[in-house]
Structure 1
Amino acid sequence: MRFWSRGGRQGEPNPSRDIHGVGLLVQFHTAHVKAINCPSSSPLCRSHFFPFAACECQQTLPSPPRRRDLLMPLTLVRDASPSPLQRNRPSGRQMSGAVHLPSRASSPLKRSALATPVALAFLLIFAAGVFLYSGTTTPSRAVTSAGRVSEAGGSGQALLSPTLGSIGGARAIWELPATPARAVLFVAHGCHCRPANFWPPSPRCPGCVGLPEDVSITERALRRRFAVLSLASARECWSMGQEVSAAKRGIQSWTAENGLGDLPVAALGASSGGYFVSWLAAEMRLAAVVLMIAEGSFGPNGVPAGYPPAMFLHMPKDQRRAVLVERNSKMLRRNGVEVKELQSLELPLTPTMLSDRIPRLNQGLSERIWRVFTDEGFVDERGYMRKDGRTTPWKDAVVKRGFWEEVSGLAEHIQEELNLAYGYHEMTSLHTDEMFDWIEEHLS
């Protein structure tokens, strides 16, 4: 091994390169780069621990010219400051009854001869220790679609940082989880809705709406390591013809481009989206399909062989739809399809329900809105909505009370929660954990 010191003018050490050892101060001079001859397997070559040295593992560099102003021996000088132990010990004069004896002087040659190998050995041992430590503690990393770098062993916490794009001519929004995805969830919105409802406004999606029930589903999916994709329908509602084939091609191309082609795909659709994914499940291979507030749409001949397990998540207050859900559930079971049913019931409107479920709505505003509903008779004596939120004139009542400006920016969010409370026909996240537990049972 050969060291070249970074030479410079004598008497001009680089303070940033001072390394304090055991009572020693190693000074490196900074005008010339060192080279270290070492095998390619050496920790020094791999670790780049010495920023002031160039490691040469393939061939030996020729010796540099021996000029005193460029090449200088590694200089070791005694550290003028005492060691921590010496600083904490009282001097001989302070110790009662003690006699201060001067230390025995040694020659400069002996000090230099002893200090040089000790310092070099100390540096090499320290470098090897740093290399071994870094090699055993560096976690694995994964890069997600949004360019985030996260620890592979992390909690999978959702960051809600989507990507906007176009797939097969359809507007699309998607997001990959913070840790490597285990599955894909395709989400189909209902009539008069859009993919922007499933993500909150952010610098990456300033036009996103972020309705509370929709966002809650997206967030839970990401936490459970689902990559989430949502496409926009061509019109206000989904059609069951060419759009189904286009969505199939879009999902397949998107998963392939994002390295997700080998992962299982599940689909969730609400209302019109529920009909849509019931057709999609007959056209492409899905691990599971969730029909929310929809009985599904099936051909006269039932469903093809290999139709995926189906979940009906509906609101039984809609009695007509409940009858259709029961009929289609029986048909699917006769065709050998596994069926799961979940019912979402009405909720009482409490003073804090809106602030509990809408992140940007504070408790004070929630209580004022609740007071309007009680004063106007929009809820019964138990707190349940008398009518669906869509037919309740709550906006006019808030305008009359004089605080519509505080409410207007969250009107869509409030409307969704009022519809949920009435429990007739609305997107719901009340059973999200149970829904994803069921989906995950069918991923393998």
Structure 2
Amino acid sequence: MSTHRSPSAPAARSHILMPLVLLRDASPSRLQRTRPSGKQMRGAVHLPSRTSSSSPPRRSALITSVPAVLALAFLLILVAVVFLYSGTTTTPSRAVTSAGRASEARGGGHALLSPTVGSIGGARAIWELPAAPAKSVLFVAHGCHCRPENFWPQSPRCPGCVGLPEDVAITERALRRRFAVLALASARECWSMGKEVSAAKRGIRSWATENGLADLPVAALGASSGGYFVSRLAAEMKLAAVVLMIAEGSFGTGGAPAGYPPAMFLHMPKDQRRAALVERNSKMLQSNGVEVKELRSLELPLTPTMLSDRIPGLNRGLSERIWRVFTEDGFVDERGFMRKDGRATPWMDAVVKRGFWEEVSGWADHIQEELNLAYGYHEMTSLHNDEMFDWIEEHLR
């Protein structure tokens, strides 16, 4: 099993993980996905979003004894200050950038990705309601060593949020489609399939009631360990649809019970063992009268702008420099496809040798997620968002 290694250079220690608003001591300390072992998804440390700060432009004072001139001078100063503030060129934080790109869905309301951090039944929880009246609830379950904070970018409302690009893209699309999004933290590094399922069921229902959403249909999406979890949750509570991402599901010896909701398997066929298990469980569900949909997420070529295109806030110049490292060190083939899993590619060491790790370190886990996605092996994916949400909406009732 390969895990991604932090570079040995001192610069690798220059960013310190911001503390979460801890509402439960069981919050995982290792977060980034690695190649799974069996049914679990392992991880490494996520770094927080890097924020930038700028000093406001200084105002200059004009003093005159003539009231009319004084009024005119004040007006000119006011205009100048507004102009200077609007022209500030410092790079915004990733949280602000991500929210800004999605704010079009709000139509002048509060910015998209403005979550609430709280506790539900003793579990750490993050949620957000859409600007327009919600038409459904989407419960999302993270994978092993991951957490709800991956689904929202860092912001004043969630200073401990990580905002991984694929996870956030799913949250954004759900909110635009008027889903109220709820994420809970697992009690331990991975989800358990017993009492935790019943606790999540009670938590989702109580949260929906408190937010006036009790009459809305509920869909669930889980990745890896979260996929097994929601497959069990679907057997205990009424769900409109369930999406099992990079997971074949867990159905027990009795298979799917009567009334099991439509199920989508969104997996990466490069993981051949899991693909075979997905096929087996798909046939089992269909034989029990359950509607099944399969989506396959394939590898992608690494291009000069792939990272800047997919990671809000990462600039094109840095994306191109990282891409050159991959081409010069032979991490990609002549077509741009990665030769090895991103977790087994020593790209961080290569960046350290080039001398620009300091610029990259704050983005390391965001980049790692996209490299795993490019290789097409066991990673969260938003590549099929439209098809996935279209399918979910077909089953809302």
TM beyond 0.5? yes
Q: Give the unaligned 5+ runs of structure 2.
A: 1-102
Residue of 362, 366, 371 corresponding to 1:409: 362
Give the counterpart of 1:422 among 351, 375, 385.
375
Rounded Cα–Cα distance in structure 2 between residues aligned with 1:153 and 1:424: 34
3-state SS, counterpart of residue 341 of structure 1: strand
1:286 aligns with 2:264: no
- Specify the structure having the higher radius of gyration (Cα): 1
In structure 1, runs of 5+ residues without a counterpart are 1-149
CA distance in 1 between counterparts of 2:242 and 2:354 reads 45
CA deviation after TM superposition for structure 1 residue 303, in Å: 1.1
Q: Is the 8 A contact 2:142 2:185 kept in 1?
A: yes
Please tell me whether residue 220 in structure 1 is matched to residue 173 in structure 2.
yes
Q: Which amino acid aligns with 2:199?
A: A
Taking a change above 3 Å as real, the CA distance of residues 441 and 365 of structure 1, as seen in their structure-2 partners, is same
Equivalenced residue count is 294
Aligned residue number for residue 274 of structure 2: 321
**What CA deviation, in whole Å up to 9, does each residue of 1:186-241 have, x standing for no partner?**
00000110000000011111111000000000000000000000000011111101
SS in 2 for 1:235: coil
Amino acid at match of 2:167: D
Q: Aligned in 2, Cα 1:155/1:289: closer, same or farther, shift over 3 Å?
A: farther
The 3-state SS of whatever aligns with 1:243 is helix
Q: 2:321 aligns with which of 368, 383, 408?
A: 368
State the SS of the aligned residue for 1:244.
helix
Q: What is the SS of the residue equivalent to 1:204?
A: coil
After superposition, residues 354-393 of structure 1 pair within 5 angstroms as 354-393=307-346
- Out of 244, 252, 257, the position equivalent to 1:299 is 252
Deviation at 1:156, TM superposition (A): 9.0
Look up the match of 2:387. 434
Distance 2:111 2:268 in 1: 28
Equivalent pair of 1:156/1:179 in contact (CA under 8 Å): no
- TM-score in terms of structure 2 length: 0.73
Q: Residue 424 and residue 300 in structure 1: after superposition, are their counterparts in 2 closer, same or farther (change >3 A)?
A: same
Partners of 2:156 and 2:236 lie apart in 1 by: 36
1:260 to 166, 189, 213: 213
Q: Indicate how the Cα distance of structure 1 residues 331 and 259 shifts in structure 2: closer, same or farther if over 3 A, else same.
A: same
Amino acid at match of 1:369: I
Structure 1 position 157, deviation (Å): 9.1
Give, in whole Å, the separation in 2 of the partners of 1:216 and 1:153.
Answer: 16
C-alpha contact (below 8 Å) 2:106/2:112 kept by paired residues: no
Q: Distance in 1 between matches of 2:109 and 2:221?
A: 21
Rate the CA distance shift 1:314–1:153 in 2: closer, same or farther, 3 A: closer
Name the % identity: 88
Bigger CA drift: 153-162 or 301-310? 153-162
SS of equivalent residue, structure 1 residue 215: helix
| Aligned partner letter, 2:245 | M
User: Structure 2 residue aligned with 1:163, among 103, 116, 125?
Assistant: 116
CA distance in 1 between partners of 2:288 and 2:234 (Å) = 14
Structure 1 CA distance for aligned equivalents of residues 310 and 336 of structure 2? 17
Q: Does residue 166 of structure 2 align to residue 240 of structure 1?
A: no
State whether structure 2 residue 292 is matched by structure 1 residue 339: yes
1:200–1:215: 8 Å Cα contact kept in structure 2?
A: yes
Q: CA deviation at 1:438?
A: 0.2
Whether the aligned pair in 1 keeps the contact of 2:124 and 2:185 (CA below 8 Å) is: yes
RMSD: 1.6
Q: Determine if contact 1:237/1:272 at 8 Å carries over to the other structure.
A: yes
Where do 1:116-127 residues align within 5 Å? none
Q: CA offset at residue 435 of structure 1?
A: 0.2
Structure 2 counterparts to residues 101-116 of structure 1, below 5 A: none
Distance 2:177 2:110 in 1: 9
Supply the distance in 2 between the matched residues of 1:302 and 1:401 (Cα, whole angstroms): 53
- Deviation of 1:328 (Å): 0.2
Q: Which amino acid aligns with 1:194?
A: R
Closer/same/farther in 2, CA of residues 153 and 175 from structure 1, 3 Å limit: closer
- 1:112 match: none
Deviation sequence 1:124-179 (CA, Å, 0-9, x none): xxxxxxxxxxxxxxxxxxxxxxxxxx9x9959996100000001111000000011
TM-score, normalised relative to structure 1: 0.65
Q: Distance in 2 between matches of 1:325 and 1:309?
A: 15
What is the CA-CA distance between 1:318 and the residue it aligns to? Answer: 0.5
Q: Is the 8 A contact 2:106 2:131 kept in 1?
A: no
SS in 2 for 1:409: helix
SS of equivalent residue, structure 1 residue 369: helix
- Greater percentage in strand: 1
CA apart distance, 1:299: 1.3
Q: Is 1:176–2:125 an aligned residue pair?
A: no
> Which stretches of structure 1, 4 residues or longer, exceed 2 Å deviation after superposition?
152-158
| Cα distance change on mapping 1:211 and 1:153 into 2, 3 Å | closer
